[in-house]
Structure 1
Amino acid sequence: MSIVIVGAGPAGTRAAEVLVGAGVQPIVIDEAPDNGGRIYQRQPNGFHRTARALYGFEAKKARAIHEAFDKLRTSIDFRPRTLAWNLRPGVIDTICDGKASAMPFAQTILCTGAMDRVIPLPGWTLPGVFTLGGSQISLKAQGCAIGARVAFLGTGPLLYLVAYQYARAGAQVAVVLDTTPFATKAAQAFGLMRGGATFAKGLYYIAWLRAHGIPIFEGVTPLAIGGDGQVESLSWRDMNGNMHEVTADAVAVGFGLKPEAQLADLAGVPFDFDPVQHNWVPRKDRSGQTSVEGVFLAGDGNGIRGADLAEAAGARAAWAVLAARGLAVDARAVAHLDATLGAGATFRAALERAFPFPAKLAADMADDTILCRCEVITAGELRAAAKEALATLPPSEVNRAKALTRVGMGRCQGRVCGAAAAEILATTLSCPIEQVGRLRGQPPVKPIPILPAEAA
C-alpha cells in the first residue's frame, strides 16, 4: 500500500526527501501546478523573474526547496493539479483536471498548509477585496498586483511582508493598518528576539515601509470598505478615537492564519483549542502521528509554526511513517528535528501573543454586516437565531447554529466565516469560545467541478 503526501510545500518536500532516502516511493499530490506551497510558489511557465525578485530574503530557502524537489521528481509519483477533497479510512478522494479518483493509502502525511483568517466588515464583499494570502499569490503566480493603490488591513507578520512585497514590486501602498497596538507587540520583545533572523527581517520590513513614506497605523479599529460596485476607500478609527479614510482601489485583509485541517477532521482526528493561537488544531504527538491509524500531520495544517518549522515537521513525520512500517530510523536525525521543533515553539508562542487574533472585533461586528457571504447571512441574523432558540433548543455550539441559520453551509464550508461566527455566538451566549466549538469538516472540503457525463 502507498504512502500519500498531501501538499508539496516545505513540509511535503522534506517528508518526501526522507522517504526517498529510505528507499520508499511516495505519491505526492498538490492542488498547484508545481511544488513550493504558497510561500515558495513557483512562477508559471513563461515567467522569468529572479528568485530574489519573487521571494526577497527567502530566495535562498525557496531555491533550496525547489532544488530538493527537482531531485526527487524521478523517485516519487508527483501528481500536480490534484485536489484532495475527501478522506475516509484508507482512501483519499481526489480530482485532477475534472477527473475523480480514489487513492488508497497505508499511511498519509497531511501537509495541507494554512489560510488567512478573515473578519468581515461592511464592504468586504466588494470587488477588489482580497486576503493577504490571495494578494501574495497574485504577485507571485500571476505577476500582477490586486490594484494600483492598495490598502493593507489586519494583523500578523504577513501584513507587513505583503505590503513590503507590493511596494517593492512598484504598487502604490496607500496605508498599512494593524489592529494590534504597539504596546502588545513590545511586551513580547524578549520572546520575539528568540526568532533571530526571522525577527530581524520583520523589523526590516516595517522600517523599510516607514522610510519610504508609507503610513502605518497600529491599534486601529476598521470601520468599512467603501465603494459603488468596487473598492474606492477604507475607513478606520485610531487608538484616540479619531476617524480616518483613505482612497484605494483594492484592499488586502488578513488577521493571522488558521490551519487547513479539514482532511484531518474527516479522518476522525480529535481537535484541541489552542488558546495562544486562538485556533482549533488537530491532535498529534511530537512526531506528527495522530490517534487515527495511518494518518500523520506536518506543517501549518496542524498548527501555525511557519515555513522553517514546517520543513522540520515534514521530515519528522516521514521518520514516524518509516517507524510505523518497521523500517530503519536515523535516531540522530530524529533527535535533531525534535530539538529544532522544540526550540521554535518559544518564538512562535511569542509571535502569536504579539499579534493576537482580534476576537472582540469579530464579536462586535455590526448586525447588518454580511457574515457568511456564501449564504448571505448577516451577523444580526446569527445573533437573532441564537437568542430566539435559547429557550427551546439552545445553540450550544456552532454546528447547531449552522443548522438554524445556514452560516457556514456554502461553498467554502465555513473556512472563511467560521472563526468570526464562533466569536459572535460565544458573545451572544456569554460563554467561552472553546465551548461553542468549531464547524465540522464536510466533503468536499473545497468546491469541485461536476461535469456532464459526456464531458467526464
Structure 2
Amino acid sequence: MSNAVRPLIVGAGPAGIRAAQALVEAGLKPIVVDEAASGGGQIYRQRLAPDKRTPRDLYGSEASKATALHETFARIRDKIEYFPQTLVWNVRGTSADVAIDGRTRRLDFSHLILATGATDRIVPFHGWTIPGVFTLGGAQIALKSQGCAIGEQVVFLGSGPLLYLVAWQYVKAGARVAAVLDTAPFSAKLNLLRGLPSQPGVVLRGMRYVAELMARGIPVHFGVEPDRIEGEARVEGIVWRERGKERRLACDAVGYGFALRSETQLADLAGCRFVFDERDRAWRPERDMAGRTSVSGVYIAGDGAGIAGADAAELAGERASLALLEDAGYAVNRERVAVLERGLAGIQRFRDILEIAFPFPDKWAASVADDVLLCRCEEISVGQARAAMREQEVRELNRLKALTRVGMGRCQGRICACAAAEILADVHGQPLEAAGRLRAQPPIKPIPLGIAADGEAA
C-alpha cells in the first residue's frame, strides 16, 4: 500500500463494510474501527455468542443481505487493519484518538470515511426513565446479540418503520407483544402506496409485518398520544389517549422511539460544515452525492449522513470509497458510479414518502408537562428548560446548555438535544432550524478517567 494513502473508516455496518471492500479491491489496506465486537452494524448485528438461531431467525427476510455482508467482511478481514470494540472519541486534523483495551491510541490517516450510523430519536414523557423502558434499538440489540427479550409482556410505541420491524422480530422470536402503539394516524400509512412502483419489496414487507402482528391477535393502535408509563421499580403499565379517550394496558416493558437521528459528533470535530435537513428535523453534515464533505479528504456515508436505511448505506459506502479513490488519483469505474448514484437518488425519493407515512408527533413539544424529565444525565426538567427559554430569552441550544446544563452530561446531548430543540422552537414559535445544534466536544462518548495514554501513533 502506498504510504500516502492510509484510509480510516469509522464504523463496520453496511456503509463501512462496503467502503472497506471497495478500497481493498483497489489495492489499499484501510483501517476499520468499530465499537461492536463484530461487523454488521445495528441492522445486521451479530450474536455475542453462537446459539441455535439461524440467519433467518435473526434477520427475517433480510437474512440473505445480512449473510452476504458478513461474508464479505470475513473475506477482507486479513486485508484491512481491524479494530473491533474500539471507540473513536476524537478527530484532530489527520489523526483520530481511539480507546481500546483500556488505553488510548492515536491513529493517523490520509483520508477519513465516517460511517457512524444512527441512534433512536427520543422524546420524553412521564415514566420514560422507569426501569424496563428501552429504545427500539436497545430492544433490538437485546434480541439479536443476547437472544433475550426486554420483558415478558412488551408494548412497542412510537413512529417509524423500525417500530413494526422490532415488534415483528419479537413476535417471531416467541416473545409476547402486548400491543403496538403508533403515534401516526392510519391515514398517513396510505402514502406508502406511492412507494409501491419504486420500492415494492419494502412496502409489501412492511404491510406483511403489520398483517402478521394483527393475525396473531396483537392490537395495533394508530394516532395515539402517549400520556405516561406507570411503575416505580419496574414498568407496570402504559397509558395513552386515543380519539380523545384515555386507555391503559398492563405490561412490564416498553420499547419506544420516534425514527432515528444521525450520529454526527465526529463529523463536527473533523470540521465539516452542517446543513439543516427539514425531512429528518435535524442538522447533518453537508455532503455531495459522492459523500464528500466540506473538508478535503473527509467523506461520510450511511445514516450518519442522513437517515436512509441499510440498502442506501451499502451504496453510499461504496460510493464514498470511489470518491476517495478518485481524489487520490486512482481510476474509477464511471458506469458503476452512475449505478450507485441512481440507486441512492431513488432511495432518497422513497425516504420522503416514508417520512409522510411515519410523521413525527409535532404536538408533543406543546403538550409535554413541565415536570417531565428532559435531560436525565443532569436531571433537568422540561419546566426548568422552558423557564430559561422564557425568562432569559434563550433561543439557541448551546446557550440553553450553558444556562441549564441540558446536554452537558454523559450522553453529550445525544438523547436530549432533539427534544430540547423541539421545545425551544415551540416556546418561541420559531423554526426548528433556528434552535441550532449542540457543538460536539471530545470525548464524544464517556471513556474511563483512568485510561492510559499510549502516546504513539499507529
Note whether the superposition's TM-score is higher than 0.5. yes
Equivalent of 2:28 in 19, 24, 28? 24
Contact 2:192 2:203 in 1 (8 A): no
Q: 1:317 to 1:435 in 2, by over 3 A?
A: same
Runs of at least 4 residues of structure 1 off by over 3 A? Answer: 452-456
Q: Deviations over 1:142-200 (max 9, x none)?
A: 11001011010000010001001111111110110000001122145213552210111
Contact 2:195 2:203 in 1 (8 A): no
Larger deviation, residues 43-52 vs 25-34: 43-52
Which residue in 2 is equivalent to 1:281? 284
Q: Is 1:297 aligned with 2:300?
A: yes
Secondary structure of residue in 2 paired with 1:359: coil
Separation (CA, whole Å) in 1 of partners of 2:433 and 2:71? 42
- Following TM superposition, by how much is the alpha carbon of 1:262 offset from its aligned partner in structure 2, in angstroms? 0.8
Q: Deviations over 1:398-427 (max 9, x none)?
A: 110111111111000111011110111111
- Following TM superposition, by how much is the alpha carbon of 1:346 offset from its aligned partner in structure 2, in angstroms? 1.2
Contact 1:179 1:220 in 2 (8 A): yes
Which residue in 2 is equivalent to 1:447? 446
Which residue in 2 is equivalent to 1:265? 268
Which residue in 2 is equivalent to 1:401? 400
- Following TM superposition, by how much is the alpha carbon of 1:429 offset from its aligned partner in structure 2, in angstroms? 1.5
Q: Using the aligned pairs only, state the percent identity.
A: 53
Separation (CA, whole Å) in 1 of partners of 2:226 and 2:196? 26
Equivalent of 2:44 in 37, 40, 44? 40
Q: Deviations over 1:246-297 (max 9, x none)?
A: 1111100100001011100111111111112222111001100011121100
Which residue in 2 is equivalent to 1:74? 78
Equivalent of 1:168 in 168, 172, 178? 172
Q: Deviations over 1:68-93 (max 9, x none)?
A: 11110111111101111111211111
Q: How does 1:34-113 map to 2 (within 5 A)?
A: 34-113=38-117
Q: Is 1:377 aligned with 2:376?
A: no
Q: How does 1:41-440 map to 2 (within 5 A)?
A: 41-191=45-195, 193-238=197-242, 240-390=243-393, 395-440=394-439
- Alignment root-mean-square deviation, CA: 1.5
- Following TM superposition, by how much is the alpha carbon of 1:455 offset from its aligned partner in structure 2, in angstroms? 13
Aligned partner letter, 2:42: R
Separation (CA, whole Å) in 2 of partners of 1:12 and 1:247? 41
Secondary structure of residue in 2 paired with 1:253: strand
Separation (CA, whole Å) in 1 of partners of 2:435 and 2:443? 23
Aligned partner letter, 2:57: A
Separation (CA, whole Å) in 2 of partners of 1:453 and 1:319? 37
- Following TM superposition, by how much is the alpha carbon of 1:333 offset from its aligned partner in structure 2, in angstroms? 1.0
Q: Deviations over 1:270-329 (max 9, x none)?
A: 111111222211100110001112110000000000000100000000000001111111
Q: Deviations over 1:123-151 (max 9, x none)?
A: 11111000000000000001100101101
Separation (CA, whole Å) in 2 of partners of 1:213 and 1:194? 31
Separation (CA, whole Å) in 2 of partners of 1:233 and 1:8? 37
Q: 1:212 to 1:24 in 2, by over 3 A?
A: same
Separation (CA, whole Å) in 1 of partners of 2:65 and 2:50? 22
Contact 1:363 1:420 in 2 (8 A): no
Aligned partner letter, 1:105: F
- Following TM superposition, by how much is the alpha carbon of 1:237 offset from its aligned partner in structure 2, in angstroms? 0.2
- Following TM superposition, by how much is the alpha carbon of 1:360 offset from its aligned partner in structure 2, in angstroms? 2.2
Separation (CA, whole Å) in 2 of partners of 1:360 and 1:101? 46
Separation (CA, whole Å) in 1 of partners of 2:448 and 2:203? 42
Which residue in 1 is equivalent to 2:8? 4
Contact 2:12 2:33 in 1 (8 A): yes
Structure 1 unaligned regions, length at least 5? none
Contact 1:194 1:346 in 2 (8 A): no
Q: 1:455 to 1:125 in 2, by over 3 A?
A: farther
Equivalent pairs counted in the alignment come to 451
Q: 1:228 to 1:405 in 2, by over 3 A?
A: same
- Following TM superposition, by how much is the alpha carbon of 1:454 offset from its aligned partner in structure 2, in angstroms? 12
Separation (CA, whole Å) in 2 of partners of 1:131 and 1:68? 30
Contact 1:322 1:329 in 2 (8 A): yes
Secondary structure of residue in 1 paired with 2:235: coil
Aligned partner letter, 1:301: G
Q: 1:210 to 1:94 in 2, by over 3 A?
A: same
Contact 1:163 1:173 in 2 (8 A): yes
Separation (CA, whole Å) in 2 of partners of 1:163 and 1:89? 43
Q: 1:47 to 1:188 in 2, by over 3 A?
A: closer
Q: 1:443 to 1:226 in 2, by over 3 A?
A: same
Aligned partner letter, 2:194: F
Structure 2 unaligned regions, length at least 5? none
TM-score w.r.t. length of structure 1: 0.97
Q: 1:288 to 1:454 in 2, by over 3 A?
A: closer
